[in-house]
Amino acid sequence: MSFSDHKITQFTHRITELPDQPNLPADELKARFDSSPEELRTAHNAVCDDAQTLSDKVESIITQTFEGTIDREMLSDELEADLTALETAVPLKCEAYFGYYTGNGGSTQQIDLGFAPKAVLVINPYDTSETTDEMNFCSMGMQGNPTVYTCVYVNETGFLLRTNGNIGDGVNKYNRRYFYAAFK
């Protein structure tokens, strides 16, 4: 059966064909009012059933033809090249390391992690005893992206804290515990 077999070109009973003062019994009048929506429902459901049957057949054909999977060998050279380019463009996942250090109060301090991170985020946690602008201070350093305003420099073995006047003073105060997230 095809979808067009369910096409409704005209309803069996049209309400507009009834006289203005119908002389039909109440049950027949109700049947006339219900007939058009019922025809529509029946046709709609038949189309849905046929669509499901078609979908099942297509799924069966795909499963039989490709044994449920599509391998790279089945792709055109152009599509395979596009897929490979997309895979290399997507950034890889990274490992995250979390820890803390205690500030030494100096102008620099090296924090050794044993690896060269891609990025490091340093957080000066909220201290309720202080009311300065340095509450919840954080700074981030990224590999290969030094800026004038950073005070966290990523290097071969971890990261270096460097203070310069007001810049960076919030990451190395004496005897203060700071938290970091290092991304490998």
Residue pLDDT, tens place only, 29-84: 888 777 777 877 787 788 878 878 887 777 777 666 666 566 666 667 776 776 67
- Both tokens of residue 40? 């529509």
pLDDT score recorded for residue 111? 94
Neighbouring C-alpha atoms within 13 Å toward the C-beta of 105 = 2
Is the pTM of the predicted complex or chain greater than 0.95?
Answer: no
Mean pLDDT of the chain: 76
Residues 64, 68: Cα–Cα separation, whole Å: 7
> Which pLDDT score is estimated for 134?
47
Cβ-contact 176, 134 below 8 angstroms? no
Residue 123, pLDDT above cutoff 90 = no
The share of the chain scoring above pLDDT 90, in percent, equals: 7
| Structure-model confidence comparison of residues 145 and 109, the more confident one | 109
Q: What's the whole-number mean pLDDT along residues 78-103?
A: 75
> Any idea which residue has 């390391």 for tokens?
97
Q: How far is CA 63 from CA 49, 60, 76, in A?
A: 21, 5, 20
Instruction: Determine contact, residues 1/54, Cβ cutoff 8 Å.
Output: no
